[in-house]
Chain A
Amino acid sequence: MHALHQVLHAFFNLHSFTLAMPDVWAGFQVNLRMMFVAEALVLAFALAIAVVRGLPGRGAKPLRALAIAYTDFFRGTPIIVVAFFVGFGLPGLQLGFISNRSFTTYGIVTLTLVYTAYVAEVYRAGIESVHPSQRAAARSLGLSYAQSMRYVVVPQAVRRVIPPLLNDFIGLQKDTAIVSVIGVAEAASLSQQFSTQNGDFVSYLVAAIFFILITIPLARFTDHLVLQRERKERALAF
C-alpha cells in the first residue's frame, strides 16, 4: 500500500501540478506551432505528390517514380531517424540558408517530410475512389486533364478523405513530442526537465492533459464526420 501511495503521489500532486503548469504550457505552445505549420505544409505537399503519382502517360513516368520513391522512403523510415537526419544533418551541411535554423524549424521540417508521405497515400486513395465516369463526364465537356482534376476529381476526393486526414492530424500532433530528440524545447522535453528538478512525475501528467485536450475533441469530431458520411451513404443506397 505504501508503494502505491508513493507512485500516486509522484504523479498526482496539486502543488507540483501548479508549479509545473507554466513551464509545460510554454513548451506546449511550441507543439501547437509545429503542429499547425507542419499540417498546413503537409496538406499542400501531400496533395501535390498524390496528383503527380496519378499523372497519366509515359512521359510522366520519371515524376511518378520520384513520388513513389518519396512516399516509400519516408513511410518506411522511423520518424525519430528522420529527425536525426534533419536536426543534425542539415546544420552540418553549413549552408547559410538551411543550416542556421532553429530546432523548432527542423522539427517542422521533420514532421512535414514524414507526414507528407502518409497523407499523400490518403489523398491517393481518395482520388482513386472517385468513379471513372466522373472523369469521363468532365473530359467529355472539353475540360482538360488538369481542369477535370482541379474541379471535379480532387474536390470529391478530399471530401471523402477528411476523416482519415484528421486521424493523421492527431498522429502528427502527438509526434510533435518526438522531435524533442533534436533539442526542441516542447512540452514533453520541458516536463522531463521539470521532473528531474522537482523529483516527481507530475509534469508528465500536465503534458498529457494538454495533448489530450487537443486530441480528444479532434477524435470525436472525426467520429462525427464518419458517422455523418455513413448515414448519407445509407440514405443514398435506399
Chain B
Amino acid sequence: MSANGSGATPFVDVRAVSKWFGDLQVLKRVDLAVREHEVVCLIGASGSGKSTLLRCLNLLERVEEGEIVVDGQPLTGPERVDVNALRRKIGIVFQAYNLFPHMTVLQNVTLAPRKAGGFSRDGAEGQARAMLQRIGLEDKADEYPDRLSGGQQQRVAIVRALAMGPKLLLLDEITSALDPQLVWDVLGLVRELAESGMTMIVATHEMGFAREVADKVCFLDGGSILEEGPPEQIFGEPREPRTREFLSRVLAGGRMG
C-alpha cells in the first residue's frame, strides 16, 4: 500500500490548501511535502496556522480548498475517506495533553489499541507497559493523569499516540504548556523518535530543538508558508525579512535553547 519507500513521492503531500474560520482565512494556499522518515518543523507566531494545518492532516478540521494526500490516499477527494482508519496511522499529540482524566495511564494508552486496533487486552497492556518502561513511567501505569506532572502527562500522551503504531506523528506545540525544566524530558523522547525514523510534523516554539532534529523547517506567517528550507539555512541565513524579524524576536525572548 505504501506509495514509496525510496522517498520519490512524498508521504504527505499538501497542495494549495486553504481554510477559513468564518470570514477569517487561516490557511492560504499552503504547499507542503514530507517524505517518509523526515522530520518537518513548523515555526511561526501564534495564529500563523501551524495548529490548523496539523489538524487538517488528520481531518480534525475540514479542508475547504486544495488537496491532501497521505500515504498515497487522497483525503480531500470526492471519494469517502474512512477517517477512523486514516487516523489510526496518523497520531497527534496536543499542547494540552488531552489525556482522559477518568482513566489510568495504562487505560489511556490501551483504549484505542483495544477498541479500534484489534488488540486483545493482554496484548495491548503488554505493549503499553513496555512502552511506559522505555520512557521510565512504568510505575505510573495505574495512576490517574492528575497525579502526574505536565511533562509526564505529555510523555504518556505521546506513548498513547504511538500505541496505534502510526506511520506519521503530528506534534502540536507539545511543550508550550510545560515548565521549562520539564521541556527537555519531552523533547528527549521526540528526539529518540526522530532518530528511530518516525515521520513527524512538529509545530513548535522551541527553535533550538527545531534546529537540531528537523530535516526541514517551514516558517508560517499569516496562514501561508513564507519560507522553507534546511534548518541551517532558515536559522542561519533566512531570506525573508519576516522570517528574520520573527527569529530575532524569538531570540530576544530567549527561546533559542
Query: Which chain A residues have a beta carbon within 8 Å of chain B's beta carbons?
Result: 133-134, 136-144, 147, 151-152, 155-156, 159, 236
Partner of B84, one of A134, A137, A142, A236: A142
Residue from the list B58, B99, B111, B161 in contact with A143, Cβ < 8 A: B111
Quick one: which of A142, A151, A159 contacts B117, CB cutoff 8 A?
A: A142
Report if A147-B116 is in contact (Cβ < 8 Å); known contacts: A136-B94, A141-B87. yes
Q: Decide: A152 and B100 in contact? CB cutoff 8 A.
A: yes
A140 with B87: CB separation less than 8 A: yes
Contact of B58 among A140, A147, A155 (CB under 8 A): A140
Flag if B116 contacts A134 (CB, 8 Å): no
Is the beta-carbon distance between A142 and B111 smaller than 8 angstroms? no
Give the interface size bracket for B toward A. Answer: 20 to 34
When the two chains form their complex, are residues A142 and B85 in contact, meaning their CB atoms are under 8 A apart? yes
B60 at the interface (CB under 8 A from A): yes
Chain B 150-190, CB-CB to A under 8 Å as 1, else 0, gives 00000000001100100000000000000000000000000
Contact residues in B for A141 (Cβ distance below 8 Å):
87-88, 91, 111-112, 116, 160-161, 164
B92 within 8 A of partner (CB): yes
Nearest CB in chain B to that of A133: its residue: B98
Chain B positions 139-155 with a Cβ under 8 Å from a chain A Cβ = 146
**Set A140, A151, A155: member contacting B115, Cβ < 8 A:** A151
Instruction: State the CA gap A138–B85 with chains docked (Å).
Output: 13
B115 in contact with A147 (CB, 8 Å)? yes
Residues of A within 8 A of B90 (CB): 140
Interchain CA distance A3-B101 in the complex, whole Å: 62
The total of Cβ contacts below 8 Å across the A-B interface reads 59
If over half of A's interface residues share one DSSP class (helix, strand or loop), that class is named, otherwise mixed; here it is: helix
Complex Cα spacing A236 to B83, Å: 34
Interface assignment of B102: CB less than 8 Å from any CB of chain A: yes
**Which chain B residues lie closer than 8 Å to A138 at the CB level?**
100
Q: Can you report 29 A-B residue pairs in the complex whose CB atoms are below 8 A from each other?
A: A133-B98, A134-B98, A136-B98, A137-B98, A137-B99, A137-B100, A139-B87, A140-B60, A140-B87, A140-B92, A140-B161, A141-B87, A141-B88, A141-B112, A141-B160, A141-B161, A142-B85, A142-B112, A142-B164, A143-B111, A143-B115, A143-B116, A144-B84, A151-B115, A152-B100, A155-B102, A156-B102, A159-B102, A236-B146
| Residue of chain B at shortest CB distance from A141 | B112
Inter-chain contacts of B91 with A (CB < 8 A): 140-141
- Closest Cβ of chain A to B101, distance in Å, is 7
A156 touches B101 (CB 8 A): yes
Contacts of B115 in A (CB 8 A): 143, 147, 151
When C-beta atoms are compared, the residue in chain A nearest to B89 turns out to be A142
Indicate whether B137 reaches chain A with its CB closer than 8 angstroms: no
A99–chain B nearest beta-carbon distance, Å: 44
Most chain A beta-carbon contacts within 10 A, residue among B58, B83, B115, B117 = B115
**Which of chain A's residues have a CB closer than 8 A to the CB of B111?**
141, 143, 151-152
**B residues in contact with A134, CB < 8 Å:** 98, 100
A-contact 0/1 string along B98-115, CB 8 Å cutoff: 111110000000011001
Neighbouring B residues of A142 by C-beta, 8 Å: 84-85, 87-88, 112, 116-117, 164
Among residues of A, the one whose C-beta sits closest to the C-beta of B95 is A133
